[in-house]
Amino acid sequence: MNGGADLAIEVAQLYKHYGDVEAVAGVDLTVATGEVLAFLGPNGAGKTTTVEILEGLRTRTSGEIRVLGVDPAEATASWRERIGVVLQGAKHEGDFTASEIVTMWSAYYRSPRPTAEVLEWVGLSDAARTRTRRLSGGQKQRLAVALALIGDPELVFLDEPTTGFDPAARREAWNTIGGLRTLGVTVLLTTHYMDEADHLADRIVVISRGRIVANGTASELAALAAMGARISWEAAELEPSRLPDKLRELLNGDGSSMPPGTAAAGAAGGLRHELVTADVGGVVRELLAAADTAGTRLDSLAVRPPTLEDTYLALTGSDS
C-alpha cells in the first residue's frame, strides 16, 4: 500500500472471524479523497464490521488497511482528530442548546472550527440557542453532523444517518450531507435507503456475505447485474398475439412482470402489458411498428430504467 494522498481509504484482503464465522471475507476497497461513497449491504453482510474496523473501533483478523495513511489499529489521538463519526440515532445528553453542545465538543480538539461557522455549515444558525429537546429529527441529525465536523476532519463516517426520519427530515439531512462535498470532506456513508445512496453518492459499493459483490455508479451496477429496462404500454386492440415473435417471447419469458394478457385496465380501456429488456430502442421500434400494422394506437407507453433497489436486490440475492 502506498498511502497516496489521492486515497483516503485503502483496504486489501480484509478478514474478520468470530470463531468459525467469517464476517468479512477478503474485502478490497478504496475511497478517493473528497469522494462520497455509499456502502450498502443487508443485515449480517459484514458492512458494520468493516466500517468499525476502519474507524479503529474493532480489530481485524488479517488484511492491510490505511485510513488517511494510517493503520487504524495503531492510530493516535492526532489521527482520531482527523476523522468524524456520525452514529445511527445519535443522542444528545443534557438540556443544552445546540451552540453549547458544539462548543463543549470543540474542547476535545486542538484546532477546532468556530462553533458559529460549523452551525452555519449544517444549517443550524437559526437554531443555535434552541434546546436539544426542542429540535426536530432533522435538526438533531444536523447537530450530530456538526459535532463530527467541529474538529475540521478530513474524513467522515455516516452510519445510517436518516433511519427513522420522516421524508422532510430526510431531505434536510441530505442537504447537509451533500454540503460536505463542497468542503472537500471525504464521506463513507452506510444506508439501507436506495434512493439515499443514489442521491448522495459518487460511487456505490455493495457487500454480501462478507464479500464485495459490486462497485461502481448506479448505472454501472445495473449493467453488472444485467438489469434491463421495464417497458409498459396500454393498447385497446393490440393483443400479444399480434406482436412480433421477439416481443411475444419477452412477454412470456421470465423477464415479464405479469402473465401475458393480464393487467389492470388502462385509462382508455386498454390492457396494460409489461416486459423487461436491455434492447429498449429495438423493442420500442417493434412495438410502434406492430401498432401501426394493426391499424391501432398505443394509449400509453412508458420506459422505466432499473432502479438502484432493483439492482441491489439482484446483486445480493437471498441476502436481502
Mind listing the pLDDT tens digit for each residue in 283-294?
Answer: 888 888 888 888
pTM, full prediction: 0.72
Residue 188 β-bridge partners? 37, 157
Residue 255 reports pLDDT greater than 50: no
The rounded radius of gyration (Å) of the Cα atoms in the chain is: 25
Residues in the chain: 320
Grid cell digits, residue 49: 464490521
Mind listing the pLDDT tens digit for each residue in 132-180?
Answer: 889 887 788 888 888 988 999 999 999 888 776 778 777 877 888 888 8
- Structurally, what CATH architecture does the domain formed by 7-223 represent? 3-Layer(aba) Sandwich (3.40)
Specify the range with the lowest mean pLDDT, choosing from 145-159, 181-195, 254-268, 299-313. Answer: 254-268
Please answer whether residues 27 and 50 qualify as being in contact, where contact means their C-beta atoms are separated by less than 8 angstroms: yes
Please answer whether residues 3 and 9 qualify as being in contact, where contact means their C-beta atoms are separated by less than 8 angstroms: no
- CA dist 144 → 6, 118, 135, 153, 155 (Å): 27, 11, 12, 14, 15
Please answer whether residues 210 and 43 qualify as being in contact, where contact means their C-beta atoms are separated by less than 8 angstroms: no
In this predicted structure, what is the pLDDT of residue 260?
A: 36
**H-helix or E-strand containing 214?**
strand 211-216
Sketch the domain layout of the chain as residue ranges: 7-223, 229-304
Compute the distance between CA of residue 261 and CA of residue 121 in angstroms, rounded to an integer: 55
CA 275 and chain centroid, separation: 27
Pick 176 or 308 by higher pLDDT: 176
Q: Among 306, 139, 315, which residue's Cα sits nearest to residue 214? A: 315
Please answer whether residues 274 and 263 qualify as being in contact, where contact means their C-beta atoms are separated by less than 8 angstroms: yes
Mind listing the pLDDT tens digit for each residue in 112-145?
Answer: 999 999 998 888 999 999 998 898 877 888 888 8
List b or e across 243-274, with b for residues whose CB sees 16 or more CB atoms inside 10 angstroms.
beeebeebbeeeeeeeebeebeebeeebbbbb
Fold of domain 229-304: Alpha-Beta Plaits (3.30.70)
Please answer whether residues 70 and 81 qualify as being in contact, where contact means their C-beta atoms are separated by less than 8 angstroms: no
